[in-house]
Chains A and B, each alone.
Chain A
Amino acid sequence: MKIFADSALSFISERPDVQDRRRAWSSFQEAGLPTTSDEVWRYAPLNDLSLDDFTVNSFPTEHNDSEFASQLCERAGLVVRVVDGFCVDAGSAPDGVRVEVVENASSVSGTSMLKRYESDTFALLNNALTPATTVVSIGDGVNVEKPIVIVNSTSGSSSFSSTQIKLGRSSSATVVEYFEGGADALVAPLSEYEIGDNASLQLITYQRLSQSAWHVARTSGFLHRDARLRQAVIGIGGHYNRSRNDAEMLDLGAENELRTTFLGSGSQVHDFRTHQFHKAPRTRSTLLSKGAVADESRSVYTGLIEIEKGAKRTDARQTNHNLLLSPHAHADSVPNLDIRENDVVCAHASSVGPLDELQRWYLESRGVTRSDAERLMIQGFFYEMLTTLPHELAALVEQDVTSALALVNVVAP
């Protein structure tokens, strides 16, 4: 691990908070990279991963927005640009919104980052190697009308971006975190969302990295009283695409809706993990995870609903559907429940199978060809994820998803 370690240590030595980073780095070294004998990593193609294929950048490389990124930015009220983990443009924030670049940020959970992520190897790497945390804060009572777009691109061989979005009391905003680039790179972003009392965050995480990227992402939402987090996660790129999306319902009435989806093609592996943690009474979580795997791609969905003793009248629902688009593709679904309170409603459902034959016939009986019918149904899988987005944003993302889908082979199993 000489090449990567040398560049990492050289990067760390140039940063102002060198002590904290060294601690994170040594925690990472002690833990080491995971292996497939670790249950939570058993589906990852870790044999293909060598950190010495990557180096840590001391400064951001040149980057130009893709056409899609430009279109996204045209629809935004605020654009923040992050290249190789460095915030290169904080944009001009509208009233009530602040963008800061913070070295040595604490976790919004209230502890240090190191404490929060001590058992997560890639998060520790992020703690040690992120250039800084980009913090977007929305003031109490502020309703941000136009979407905030964070364009997160990777041109170098690694990116450890750290992002925090904080909503003050009774505020609301729509935020898009968009990821692109990342050819042959390691992209390990870490995002945290703090949603204040009665605030509402609508979030879309759209991952369109290169098919050769290693993407290991983690997001965590912290929801206060009557707070709402509606998050859509769409993963298309990556050689290995791991996305862990957690939410903690900390206080009465907090509500989390999470929709995650992925499209697998070639020999990709999509690895989705979720953890809805209910810590207070009358909290709700609704999770819909859908994915489609084509060619020889594989996917795994592992979701945990955890309900703490005393979180009475919690309502937690988890649904996972997987589409097999080729006889050589494979999907696993692993729902888990950890419930320590009796007075709750909790449900989960999962399925793995090919496209619904009768729905396809219905379309065909109108004169739609089989391949168009399948294409429409697969697109529909993703479009469903976007229904809560503002219309013009949804239309743009749909168009982009459609262009990605056009490249995928569908073989009826």
Chain B
Amino acid sequence: MSSTLVIEGLRVEVAGKEVLKGFDLSMKSGEVHVIMGPNGSGKSTLAHALSGRPGYKVLGGSVVLDGVELLGLSPTERARHGLFLAMQHPMEVPGVRPIDLLIAAGADAANLRKRMSDEAQRVELRTDVLDRFVNVDLSGGERKRAEMVQLGILRPKFAMLDEIDSGLDVDALGAVARRLSSATTEWNCGVLAITHFRRLLQELTPTKIHVMTDGRVVATGGPELSEILERDGYEPFRHAKS
């Protein structure tokens, strides 16, 4: 079964300032799309706005997943339609255990603890972390691996990864990228990875790369785009569409 995610003309305001100024992107199940861009270009805003984070005001545009407009829906409904956000800084939720979170999120309770352990091993996360409270006292790297455990259990149609590589050492990055890569074949998961490093792309082969500056996509292309970025930086793209 193939799904589509279509973002058109998305405009989002944060703290009174328009950050996304007409963002467009279209992708299908099983594809890996990478959004690259300098600091302040609106990458994280995109991820948060798509997940309905409080304080992010949508000014216009649409986000349609398999024919369903997500922008009018609650964060819960968006997730239940198959959108998952792995955060740059996953929040600590004291007193809440990962297994209870996952059951409440709709995961099948049968053998859940076992499946969580399996997922943890795939990303080399100590399994005792699964019995602690969500993200409490975990390192940055452990939190990202823990997000991958949730991803593996919840099996979303599309996974957005906000700066998944920041704060990860090379081993952890490899483990996370391999997990994402197999998600694209295991259940045809679409991956939308936000990054400003090329490192991620060595393990996770992108279908398309989008370069973002000042709140919109200014260039889209294949892996060759990341080589241009590596060589020339973002400067050539800054005025590409203006």
**Residues of A bordering B, CB below 8 Å:** 357-359, 361-370, 372-373, 376-377, 379-384
Supply 15 A–B pairs (Cβ within 8 Å), ascending by A.
A358-B54, A361-B52, A362-B93, A363-B105, A364-B75, A365-B75, A365-B84, A366-B79, A366-B102, A366-B154, A367-B79, A368-B76, A376-B96, A380-B94, A384-B133
Nearest CB on A from B46, distance (A) = 14
- Residue of A366, A373, A377, A379 ringed by the most chain B CB atoms within 10 A: A366
Please, which residue of chain A has its CB at the minimum distance from the CB of B53? A361
* Contact between chains at A364 and B76 (CB < 8 Å): yes
Please, which residue of chain A has its CB at the minimum distance from the CB of B136? A384
> Of residues 40 to 85 in B, which have CB atoms within 8 Å of A's CB atoms?
51-54, 74-76, 78-80, 84-85
Which single member of B51, B94, B95, B102 contacts A365 (CB below 8 Å)? Answer: B51
* Contact between chains at A366 and B94 (CB < 8 Å): no
* Contact between chains at A380 and B75 (CB < 8 Å): no
Instruction: Enumerate chain A residues within 8 angstroms of B74, measured Cβ to Cβ.
Output: 364, 370
Cα-based distance from A379 to B96 in the complex (angstroms):
8
Cα-based distance from A382 to B96 in the complex (angstroms):
10
* Contact between chains at A364 and B79 (CB < 8 Å): yes
* Contact between chains at B80 and A367 (CB < 8 Å): yes
Asked whether any CB of chain A lies closer than 8 Å to the CB of B236, the reply is: no
**Residues of B bordering A, CB below 8 Å:** 51-54, 74-76, 78-80, 84-85, 87, 90-97, 100-102, 104-106, 133, 150, 154
How many residue pairs at the A-B interface have CB separations less than 8 Å? Answer: 83
Decide: A363 near B101, CB < 8 A? Known: A377-B96, A379-B95. Answer: yes
Cα-based distance from A372 to B76 in the complex (angstroms):
10
Please, which residue of chain B has its CB at the minimum distance from the CB of A369? B76
Please, which residue of chain A has its CB at the minimum distance from the CB of B156? A367
Sorted nearest first, the 10 A-B pairs with minimum C-beta distance are: A380-B95, A367-B79, A367-B105, A364-B75, A362-B91, A366-B105, A368-B104, A372-B104, A384-B95, A383-B95
Please, which residue of chain A has its CB at the minimum distance from the CB of B147? A366
Cα-based distance from A373 to B106 in the complex (angstroms):
12
Which single member of B75, B84, B95 contacts A377 (CB below 8 Å)? Answer: B95
Cα-based distance from A377 to B134 in the complex (angstroms):
11
Instruction: Enumerate chain B residues within 8 angstroms of A363, measured Cβ to Cβ.
Output: 93, 96, 101, 104-105
Cα-based distance from A383 to B94 in the complex (angstroms):
9
Cα-based distance from A372 to B93 in the complex (angstroms):
14
Instruction: Enumerate chain B residues within 8 angstroms of A370, measured Cβ to Cβ.
Output: 74, 76
